[in-house]
Amino acid sequence: MDFGLTEEHRMVQKMVRNFAQKEVAPIIKEYDRKQEMAPFVLQRMGELGILGICFPVRYGGQGMDYISLGLACEELEAVDTTLRVVMSVHVGLNSMGLLQWATEDQKQRFLIPQARGDKVACFGLTEPGVGSDVAGLSSTARRVSDGYLINGEKMWISLATKAHNSLVVARTNSHAADPHDGLSAFLVELDSPGVTTGDIHGKLGVRAGSTGWIAFQDVHVPEENRIGDEGEGFKIAMSCLDNGRYTVAAGATGLIRACLEASVRYANERKAFGREIGKFQLVQQKIATMLQSYEMARLLYLRAGWMKNQGARNTRESSLAKWFATDASFQAAADAIQVHGAYGYSDEYEVERYLRNSKGAVIYEGTSEIHQLMQAGYALGYRSDAALRCELPAYDVEGWQEPM
Ligand SMILES: Cc1cc2nc3c(=O)[nH]c(=O)nc-3n(C[C@H](O)[C@H](O)[C@H](O)COP(=O)(O)OP(=O)(O)OC[C@H]3O[C@@H](n4cnc5c(N)ncnc54)[C@H](O)[C@@H]3O)c2cc1C
């Protein structure tokens, strides 16, 4: 067992930390207030290779491993959740799904431009009437002679108005005995006729990010843009979530770290009753709990990343990492505000934004309740993971560096 990071991991950490701390931290409050995404963020993440971090060089990526992806997410969310959300949808939920399920032709057409950051990608699963109960979704993809016509609406879609491509799950068979088997996945180019998108305003958090809706009215999608076989949409969506949840877990770990660092700083400066508040045991308790949560969350996501590197199925481990880290980051942010007293309640300090941002991750990519049901299901023997037709490829240190 090796708990050490490689030289390459440390380089990734440093590069992403530099970007987030130097280029984004100084302006994030302004964009959070304006409820807008900073205009340079996607472009810079593409230029730095962050959007293609864990893809083979021959598919336009940086040829790094899945642990590098986790470390990048931790650094990004230590500054702002919106940066990590980009990784969750563009990398985890969409591009890694293509790496796992797409044909070689689809990888050439879609994965390469996405990994290079030339095209931005999102993930359209949730609908106005359906979130957790994926098999109940009502968007349809009706077969026509040369492909499919997609109709329906996707809601709460991160990057909906910024993305060029969306992975969309729609119903192709409404008569399937098991509704899970009636779904299929498509890579839809969002400039296709019949697609409209819009932003959702008034969110509690991720205000410097983009969350919106996508409507499809008789959108023609050629057969060669269907990802996987007809009827595999549910399995594809769930394996995309294994990857997205990993990024959410790693990011929430970074948010816990940010809460811890802010609280330690403040506890060493602020005085009450003639001494630094860090000297009071009830303040120490909050700081100790943040430290404990950070270390546990980090171990859980790194284990899931290690399993991805081995090509091992990690649905159970990614779910546990996501559930633990997101609940713990919400608690850490609430405690960080408490440590800051009234100043924590204002946007003079960062911690109020941490709390608003942390809540979303307890809801998206499986609510905490859904993860509890999953974990109980595994523990009780009600649930197990059958092999998939396509698994996420194991990291191959040499093969991933081979040129195009
Ligand atoms: C900021 C943000 C970004 C998002 N980005 C995306 C995105 O990019 N793509 C995308 O497809 N979706 C996205 N989502 C949507 C998100 O994935 C859904 O909100 C989530 O899956 C929950 O679905 P829901 O909101 O419809 O809640 P519901 O499923 O309606 O659940 C409501 C409540 O009921 C509980 N509940 C439901 N079923 C059960 C059960 N069986 N047992 C116990 N409790 C249950 C839930 O835990 C929750 O507390 C985003 C959401 C947010 C807030």
Find the 252 Cα to ligand 1 centroid distance in Å.
Answer: 17
Q: Cβ(250)–Cβ(318) under 8 Å?
A: no
Q: Which of 306, 333, 332 is nearest to 318 (CA)?
A: 306
Spatial separation of the C-alpha atoms in residues 216 and 156, rounded to whole Å:
15
Spatial separation of the C-alpha atoms in residues 73 and 16, rounded to whole Å:
9
Q: Cβ(40)–Cβ(212) under 8 Å?
A: no
Query: Which residues lie with the beta carbon below 6 Å from any ligand 1 atom?
Result: 89, 122-126, 131-132, 156-158, 206, 211, 360, 363-365, 367, 369-370, 373
Kind of pairing between the strands at 165-171 and 121-124: parallel
pLDDT attached to residue 195: 98
Q: Which of 124, 118, 60, 50 is nearest to 87 (CA)?
A: 50
Q: Tell me the per-residue pLDDT of 187-245, one tens digit each, with 9 for 90 and over.
A: 999 999 999 999 999 999 999 999 999 999 999 999 999 999 999 999 999 999 999 99
| Averaged pLDDT, 355-361 | 98
Q: Tell me the per-residue pLDDT of 242-255, one tens digit each, with 9 for 90 and over.
A: 999 999 999 999 99
Q: Which amino acid is at 228?
A: G
pLDDT attached to residue 259: 98
Find the 132 Cα to ligand 1 centroid distance in Å.
Answer: 5
pLDDT attached to residue 128: 98
- Residue 122 CA: which ligand 1 atom is closest? 8
Q: What percent of the chain has pLDDT over 90?
A: 99
Asked if pLDDT for residue 1 goes beyond 90, the answer is: no
Sign of the dihedral through C-alpha 364, 392, 51, 122: negative
pLDDT attached to residue 382: 98
- Residue 89 CA: which ligand 1 atom is closest? 8
Q: Which of 74, 68, 113, 73 is nearest to 95 (CA)?
A: 113
Mean pLDDT of the chain: 98
| Averaged pLDDT, 352-361 | 98
| Mutation test residue for ligand 1: of 82, 364, 382, the one with most atoms within 8 Å of CB | 364
Q: Tell me the per-residue pLDDT of 34-80, one tens digit each, with 9 for 90 and over.
A: 999 999 999 999 999 999 999 999 999 999 999 999 999 999 999 99
Scanning 270-350, the segments in alpha helix (DSSP H) are 281-310, 315-344
Q: Which of 217, 187, 13, 16 is nearest to 93 (CA)?
A: 187
- Which residues 6+ apart lie within 8 Å of 229 measured at CB? 184, 389
| Mutation test residue for ligand 1: of 82, 87, 126, the one with most atoms within 8 Å of CB | 126
Exposure string for 45-76, b = 16+ CB within 10 A, e = fewer = bbebbbbbbbbbbbbbbbbbbbbbbbbbbbbb
Asked if pLDDT for residue 2 goes beyond 90, the answer is: no
Q: What is the DSSP string of 252-266?
A: HHHHHHHHHHHHHHH
- Residue 367 CA: which ligand 1 atom is closest? 47
**Running DSSP on this structure, what letter comes out for residue 387?**
P
Query: How far, in Å, are 158, 203, 251, 268, 373 from residue 369 at the CA level?
Result: 21, 21, 20, 37, 6
| Averaged pLDDT, 164-170 | 98
